[in-house]
Structure 1
Amino acid sequence: MEPKTVDYQKRICCAMNFISQNIERELSLEEIAASASFSAFHFHRIFKASVGETVASFTRRLRLESAASRLIATPNGDITTIAMECGFSSSQNFAKAFRKHFSLTPTEYRHSKIGHTLSKNENASLFQIRYDVDSVTRNLSNLTKKMKMNTEVKVLPESEVAYVRRMGAYGKETCQPAFIELMEYAGPRNLIAPGKMLAIYWDNPEVTPAEKCRFDACIMVPAGTVAEGQVCIQTIRGGSYVVHHAEVTEDAFQQAWQDAFVWLCDSGFEAGDGPCFELYQNNGMEHPEGKWLVDICIPLKEKV
């Protein structure tokens, strides 16, 4: 029975990814099921048993959380446009669903978040960065000069990765076990190399319940690599990214993310909808000073 259970877990991850990647449009149950090679007949039961939410509830929550993230990231962004980009049919439907989920209107929610201080966590994703708008404005010039040599826009190639997914609050308790399990797969296959390890943060811990946040420990693999055990395979999209190069100790990752985000705000570029990730150029645990050489990678919206 175990191989079937493992296979279900992998395919449910594919379905979750498919929903995330198509959050702006209405997806049929058949379409989602097909993305993970399921028959639609029992798919809704399998999905709920694995995820703890129905397909509809999961999709609705991701849409609302995506909208909430955009409200924070674009303080002057048009709320109706954000609603439409996140798959809502009208601003009225969006406002009603948003208030029911967050107990605030979209405008109230935006005002409640802007200006909050940075929360302190051991690991950070793009969405963990909260900033004081006035403070950023005052210091933007100096920060931009400081980061100019460390940040660039690069076109990254599409990459196939093997990954282990964990659900839970972003931090050592969630991330470390995922990487340990991934290393047990990658080590015997000689896949470990500098610049091949990634950490993907799918959700916004500002708006997503901690226990529902998705974290992927990843390693780049050759095309055609076969998934085994709990290890799944996915493709990281190629395209334009902000890449911020940092040399940090374990307690300084959040500052690196803040620096990358401040640079993005001043750059004139617009963040895309794909997940952001950390790309590791070394193993900080083997560095004499405990420093990690990491690239903070934020996807950009491609020009039409």
Structure 2
Amino acid sequence: MITNELVNQSIDYIMQHLDEEITVEDVGNCCHFSKYYFSRVFKAETGESIYAFIKRLKMEQSALRLRIEKDKSITDIGFDYGYSPSNYSSVFKKHHSISPAEFRKGVNTTCVHHPLYPNNLAKFKSFEEYDQQISIQVFDDFFVIYERHIGNYIDLGNNWCAFTEKYKNFFTGNTLLIERSYDDPSITSVEQCLYDICMTVDKRCSLDNVTTIKGGKFAVYRFEGFIREIFVAFQGIFNIWLACSGYEMDERYGLDIYRAVDRENMHVVMDLCIPIK
């Protein structure tokens, strides 16, 4: 868990400016520290240097866009992250061990290997089947207590148990439990996935680790099933539904809103929410 709130602020800054030429000094300045001091703090919390973190996110977020923005050229996507065509291809291949063109050609629209359960091969539903379970909704902003983690999604259950126990006195009848995910574990190493676990609270809450999750328009898929099946549902929404829906994902990140949890049987009802324009 990332416990330094300034590091969390710097990650938010990087996410919001990923399509710009961000320097280490820019990140330090946003937190009012010298780049040398803040670089040490950042690496101690995240395990990566600021430069490596920025470069990795550019490669992984651009790979996600190659997958879902099929009508946008590879050159334009690379340019959005500050790369010339030849440089983007070189850096992408070094990071992913495959060229951007090969990556895009290899996107599978019928099934997916599960990165958390490598022996599992799961098949996607049809566009029509996903579309029947998706509604377009507009959410207000969410004011939340949050904890940010870098690591394997398989640890989510234990992290949620610790989180809800720690903040049990803040629960009310209207409390929502929300996950905000930043990475696709079929692209990002499972040990480097970044995610927030959150619970809604009153805006008068004076804890340090509170933030606002921006609302807006979302495509909402009602998922009912076992926790291990959530990854496959998300992949199907991105690879099948979003690519053919006519909607575009915007700069916000996906949310999972829990509606019911059966921990004993590892079964949940939740809304998988994809931000759209």
TMscore range, shorter length: 0.7 to 0.9
Give the direction of change, closer, same or farther, for the CA distance of 1:113–1:203 in structure 2 (3 Å limit). Answer: same
Structure 1 counterpart of 2:13, from 11, 18, 23 = 18
Q: Secondary structure at the match of 2:274?
A: strand
CA distance in 2, matches of 1:195, 1:244: 20
Superposition TM-score, scaled by structure 2 size: 0.84
Give the direction of change, closer, same or farther, for the CA distance of 1:11–1:244 in structure 2 (3 Å limit). Answer: same
CA distance in 1, matches of 2:172, 2:234: 25
Tell me which amino acid in the other structure corresponds to 1:215: Y
Structure 2: runs of 5 or more not aligned = none
Indicate yes or no: 2:244 matched with 1:266. yes
Indicate yes or no: 2:145 matched with 1:162. yes
CA contact (8 A) 1:161 1:236 kept: yes
Give the direction of change, closer, same or farther, for the CA distance of 1:153–1:280 in structure 2 (3 Å limit). Answer: same
Percent of aligned positions that are identical: 25
CA distance in 1, matches of 2:262, 2:62: 35
CA distance in 2, matches of 1:116, 1:169: 25
CA contact (8 A) 2:23 2:51 kept: no
Structure with bigger helix share is: 1
Give the direction of change, closer, same or farther, for the CA distance of 1:101–1:260 in structure 2 (3 Å limit). Answer: closer
1:75 to partner: Cα distance: 3.6
The aligned counterpart of 1:127 is: none
Q: Secondary structure at the match of 2:153?
A: coil
Structure 2 counterpart of 1:69, from 56, 64, 67 = 64
Give the direction of change, closer, same or farther, for the CA distance of 1:182–1:66 in structure 2 (3 Å limit). Answer: same
1:268 to partner: Cα distance: 0.8
CA contact (8 A) 1:195 1:280 kept: no
CA distance in 1, matches of 2:115, 2:95: 25
Give the direction of change, closer, same or farther, for the CA distance of 1:60–1:122 in structure 2 (3 Å limit). Answer: closer
Indicate yes or no: 2:224 matched with 1:247. yes
The aligned counterpart of 1:281 is: 259
Tell me which amino acid in the other structure corresponds to 2:56: R
Structure 1 counterpart of 2:161, from 176, 180, 193 = 180
CA distance in 2, matches of 1:40, 1:221: 34
Q: Secondary structure at the match of 2:210?
A: strand
Structure 2 counterpart of 1:59, from 40, 54, 58 = 54
CA distance in 1, matches of 2:236, 2:173: 27
Matches within 5 A, 1:183-222: 183-189=164-170, 191-193=171-173, 196-222=176-202
Tell me which amino acid in the other structure corresponds to 2:92: F
Q: Secondary structure at the match of 2:224?
A: strand
The aligned counterpart of 1:292 is: 268
CA distance in 1, matches of 2:21, 2:204: 31
Runs of 4+ in 1 over 4 A off after TM superposition: 192-195
The aligned counterpart of 1:33 is: 28
Give the direction of change, closer, same or farther, for the CA distance of 1:27–1:193 in structure 2 (3 Å limit). Answer: farther
The aligned counterpart of 1:102 is: 96
Structure 2 counterpart of 1:152, from 130, 135, 140 = 135
CA distance in 2, matches of 1:168, 1:17: 17
CA contact (8 A) 2:122 2:232 kept: no
CA contact (8 A) 1:195 1:282 kept: no
CA distance in 1, matches of 2:207, 2:33: 17
Tell me which amino acid in the other structure corresponds to 1:245: R
CA distance in 2, matches of 1:70, 1:251: 25
The aligned counterpart of 1:112 is: 106
Structure 2 counterpart of 1:140, from 106, 109, 127 = 127
The aligned counterpart of 1:234 is: 211
My pick for the range that moved more, 207-216 or 25-34, is 25-34
My pick for the range that moved more, 277-286 or 203-212, is 277-286
Structure with bigger strand share is: 2
CA distance in 2, matches of 1:65, 1:255: 19
Q: Secondary structure at the match of 2:199?
A: strand
